[in-house]
Structure 1
Amino acid sequence: MDNLASLLVKSARSGGDRVAVRQDDITLTYAQLDDASARFATLLRSRGVHPGDRVALVMPNVSCFPVAYYGILRCGGVVVPMNPLLKSREVAFALRDSGSRIAVTSPHSTHEVATATAEVGIDCLVTDTATFDTLVQDSEPMRQVAGRAADDTAVILYTSGTTGTPKGAELTHRNLVTNAATTAGTLLHVGPADVLFGGLPLFHAFGQTCALNTAVAAGATLTLMPRFDPAEALEIMRRDGATIFLGVPTMYSALLNNRGPDGHALPRLRLAVSGGASLPVEVLHTFEREFAVTVLEGYGLSETSPVAAFNPPDRPRKAGSIGVPIRGVELRLMADDGTPVGPGEVGEIAIRGENVMRRYWNRPDDTAEAVRDGWFHSGDLARVDDDGYYFIVDRKKDLIIRGGYNVYPREIEEVLYEHPAVAEAAVVGVPHEVHGEEIAAVVTVRDGSQVTADEMRDHVRARVAAYKYPRIVTFTDALPKGATGKILKREIVVEWKAP
């Protein structure tokens, strides 16, 4: 079966009694997860969801997420995952753009999602573990998984660029099945006895593929954590016997700064994986020493399902490197004119293979710009050594990565410009010891207007997710510009001191 949901069906048949998902004292075996998702699929079908229809999924890392995720896929729907921290205006945009037929959320996000669905004119399903049985009480399990072609879209992940509104990357069943199979089989060597730590957001490509789908493909256990807290994360990993930790660099730093009564001892932990941003080499070495575990770095994007390169466990690990292309994937470094760069030179990473998205949803021009001659152009600059290991040098785009979350300056600038006192605004990232980067807004004020930094922060914070608003707001008489009038962000200098 080509449907991504077949991963769950297969694991349920081969080991239905094994624990699939754990969230504190809640456990779902593979048989229970399979049955719950089958009942949810029937419920969705009764609400008018048919193969190819989009269904928004707005939930934190709770046990109902995988139930809804595989239920949507099982009935042939397309999952549109969203960050539960988004505000109603952000949710409404994705609902409209994707043409979602219905939205599924948890009580945590009911207000924002319900506001958005009412505005768009679609239904909102609210459920959690306590209310799930009541919700599906009249639903018989849908035993047959809806037939989908390998190249049909399974998931639409919204990702922004620096030049416009968020774009939906269409990931196919083949994209996600092969990426999960490669991650489980050749990168992490995951088996039924493994317990993966699920602290990465499941609405994000990293957590969705490398934690959820990889665990299900291998018949392993995924232990969930709705909101990352380092002390609680250590306790969960000790309690549940985690064997694999997956995290972004800020998680590694946070764990190092928290010690339990037994120090950093995690007896069953055998492997740690880092992605989302570059892990400082010093943090990598310190983590390996303190936790007595090997840390392997990888690289990918939402558009590549996400894994494209990885430090393979059966080859020497190179600290600071994103590794080599994974099975079924090619990497190439290209100059601005599209020609390959020579040895030792810096070029833009281009990716080709079974992991590259189908297209951007309803964005043919953006798709044509990003995917040329079958190669996806990442916007990231790198060099490659004689052994074929790639090293990220810089980002071609203005993307800011704060605490592992992507923040796109253009989106924040649009919100800043909505304030009547703002004449011009630019958003840039500045280095931060804890978050990797902090968001800074540099603003010029209209003549005759007055506004404080706190007022600007509050204006943005009310309109975007909490991790996106600029903690740093400075004012200037004029922003640097080029001959054409374009703001030159590279010339903006933000002077600040961490509190």
Structure 2
Amino acid sequence: MPFRSFTKVVSAHPDSPAIIHHNNRSVSYQKLLSLIDAISCGLVTKGLRSGDRVILHSKNKIELIASYYACLATGATFVPTNPHLPNKDISKIISDSGARFYLGDTTSYTANQKAVDGASTLEGRWVIGMNTPEGKAQPWQSLLQLGNSFSPPSLSPDMVASIFYTSGTTGQPKGFAFSRRAINTIIDVVRSTMALSVRATSTAPFYSMVDVISPWSIQTSFASLSLHRPIILTDTHDPHTVLKVLNTYQLSWFTGTPSNFNDLTVAAQALDHVPVLSATACVSGGDTCPLEIAQRFHTTFGGHLQNSYGQTEQGCITIHHPDLTKASTPALGWPLPTTAIKIVAEGGEDGEVGELFVRSPTKTAGLWTDNGIEPVYEDGWIPTGDLVSRHADGCLEALGRQKDLIKIAGYPVYPLEIEQEILRHPDIARAVVFAIPDIAKGESIIAMIETHRGKTLSSTAIKEYLADKIAHYKIPEQIMFVDTIPIVNNKISRRHIAREYLRSCDKEVRLLE
């Protein structure tokens, strides 16, 4: 299990750094274990039982990492809760999970105090950085002073270790439960993926531009610490902060979303000196990475962007591409040895082009409900909602989300194809293509474009640029130039942007399904 793997490293390397924070506060493996024990003692003293849910609601803090391990050590179920969610979603997650305890930080608690204090299931609330009681919350130190010693209980591998909630951009959050056995398998898969490009003897640190409240970053942090590789935490992931990290440390593993890598590359191109990342495994995930971003990143930093594909229900990475600079089309990559896939065409038969289905031993045990776990995907096959094409060598090409597929007079149009062509223009930094209802043609294509700083383009110029690159019916009818394309949950959501566009036009928000 992740906690047992961690304690083995503590025994072998007690004084080695485990977590390095950007404000120069760092802790060794032994000190992190001591913090884990203190949190565990405090929770057990307050009545925590194996199986109890604990809300973890914090920015990147050393205490957050320790709290994950404390839950694993005590048999509690950790429920990572994104601090950027609104009060209604926080309330829903606390109520739905039936959590008894809350561990957060001052920023997150203050932003969502109404939801946290109003939660009837919570019996204890402790806040990192709080010095005096506020509302129904208690200072963090009061939790650490509650107990003296802790002995981990014997725990079944079938017990629920975590509930990962997904909220997307619409609808109610829903929680996917994962057993302790599944979490252990997930960490093994992540470690195996790391081994593809990082020397086994490397003790260089891991850094993610995605907060460690995200399942991907949680899993990669567990894997890194179990391999005697410290993790680096920063309060923010703005390009200036990230560049400071890259100039200070030689990393083993470096992760982020395509948007993160794009912003970093744009910022670095204005500098005289940039760090060389040719020896670092740089991994993009969370969304399809445009090839232009991978190429620009390579030109700027010398690093080869890899692609990591997985969804919350799948547990972790299931498909991997080792080098996007060698791809000729938007690529997901190849299934990992532990992953089985099938592609279901529009008529429901298996094919080479269609919706991707994935089967993996790391998949969720089911949806968390008031009545326990509701099994889902009982045949093992998870519909991803992603459209793919399988090449002759087995590599999966990303065609886009099934719900994002546009139909123009009956012709299928993949937004990703248009975006890729737009992004090849040297003056364009970002682009997103979406559709709105159109009485005559079914849907009308709109492109939202963010140019590089100091660059100016016209709609006519973009349409002329695309004229000999894509079919005429795929050329956007409207081109919008914006300062910044909106990002939701570290992703560019076409559906969200389309809804906001319709609202801005005072039109009924009803997108085609």
Same fold (TM > 0.5): yes
Deviation at 1:59, TM superposition (A): 0.6
CA shift, 1:161, in A, is 6.7
Partner of 1:145: 152
| Residue of structure 1 in register with 2:103 after alignment | 104
Aligned pairs for 1:18-37 (under 5 A) are 18-24=16-22, 25-37=24-36
Query: Which residues of 2 match residues 171-190 of structure 1 at below 5 A?
Result: 171-187=178-194, 188-189=197-198
Match of 2:262 in 1: 253
User: How far does residue 91 in structure 1 lie from its aligned partner after superposition?
Assistant: 0.8
Shift in alpha-carbon separation, 1:141–1:291, aligned structure 2, 3 A? farther
The 5 A counterparts of 1:257-336 are: 257-259=266-268, 262-266=272-276, 269-312=279-322, 320-335=330-345
* Structure 2 residue matching 1:489: 3-state secondary structure: coil
- The one-letter code matched in structure 2 to 1:29 is S
Structure 2 partner of 1:167: 174
| Counterpart amino acid of residue 140 in structure 1 | N
Deviation, structure 1 residue 316: 7.5
Given that 1:223 and 1:240 are in contact with CA atoms closer than 8 Å, whether structure 2 keeps it comes out as: no
| Structure 2, unaligned runs of 5 or more | 132-138, 406-414, 417-444, 453-487
Task: Quote how far apart the aligned CAs of 1:327 are.
Answer: 3.0
**1:475 counterpart residue number:** 505
1:251, distance to aligned residue in structure 2 (A): 0.9
- Which residue is 2:247 aligned to? 238
Q: For residues 215 and 478 of structure 1, do their structure 2 counterparts lie closer, same or farther at Cα, with a shift above 3 Å needed? A: closer
Counterpart residue identity of residue 300, structure 2: E
Partners in 1 of 2:347 and 2:370 — Cα distance? 23
Amino acid at match of 1:489: L
* Cα drift, residue 214 of structure 1: 1.9
* Contact 1:61-1:199 at 8 Å conserved across structures: no
Distance 1:136 1:466, change over 3 A: same
2:235 paired residue number: 226
Give the superposition deviation at 1:213.
1.5
Q: Secondary structure at the match of 2:39?
A: helix
8 A contact 1:250–1:434 mirrored in 2:
no
The aligned residue for residue 359 of structure 1 is 366
| 2:44 corresponds to | 45
Q: Distance in 2 between matches of 1:366 and 1:431?
A: 41
- Kindly tell me: are residues 255 and 63 of structure 1, through their superposed partners in 2, closer, same or farther at Cα, counting changes over 3 Å? same
Question: 1:64–1:128: 8 Å Cα contact kept in structure 2?
Answer: no
The residue aligned with 1:459 is none
Q: Which amino acid aligns with 1:387?
A: D
CA distance in 1: counterparts of 2:446 and 2:371, whole angstroms? 30
State the partner residue of 1:461. Answer: none
* Separation in 2, partners of 1:167, 1:429: 31
Task: Determine the C-alpha separation between the residues in 1 that align with 2:148 and 2:404.
Answer: 49
**Counterpart AA for 2:179:** T
Rate the CA distance shift 1:432–1:75 in 2: closer, same or farther, 3 A: farther
Task: Tell me which amino acid in the other structure corresponds to 1:217.
Answer: S
1:295 CA displacement: 1.2
SS of the equivalent of 1:351 reads strand
Q: 1:376 aligned to 2:382?
A: yes
Provide, for residues 64-92 of structure 1, a one-character-per-residue CA deviation record: whole Å limited to 9, x for no partner. Answer: 11011111221110010011122322211
| Partner Cα separation in structure 2 for residue 366 and residue 39 of structure 1 | 31
Q: State the partner residue of 1:136.
A: 144
Q: Following the alignment from structure 1 to structure 2, what is the Cα–Cα distance between the partners of residues 433 and 31?
A: 47
AA aligned opposite 1:285: Q
Change in 2 beyond 3 A, CA 1:282/1:478: closer
> Is this contact kept in 2: 1:64–1:129, CA < 8 A?
no
Distance of 1:172 and 1:332 partners within structure 2: 25
Alignment check: 8 A CA contact 2:246 2:275 kept: no
Q: Which runs of 5+ in 1 are unaligned?
A: 402-427, 436-463, 480-486, 491-499
**2-side partners of 1:169 and 1:325: how far apart?**
22
**Identity over aligned pairs, percent:** 22
Match of 2:435 in 1: none
Instruction: Report the TM-score, using the length of structure 1 for normalisation.
Output: 0.76
Q: Which amino acid aligns with 2:71?
A: I
Number of equivalences: 422
Distance in 1 of aligned mates of 2:328 and 2:188: 24
Amino acid at match of 1:60: K
Q: Alpha carbons of 1:68 and 1:275: their partners in 2 closer, same or farther (altered >3 Å)?
A: same
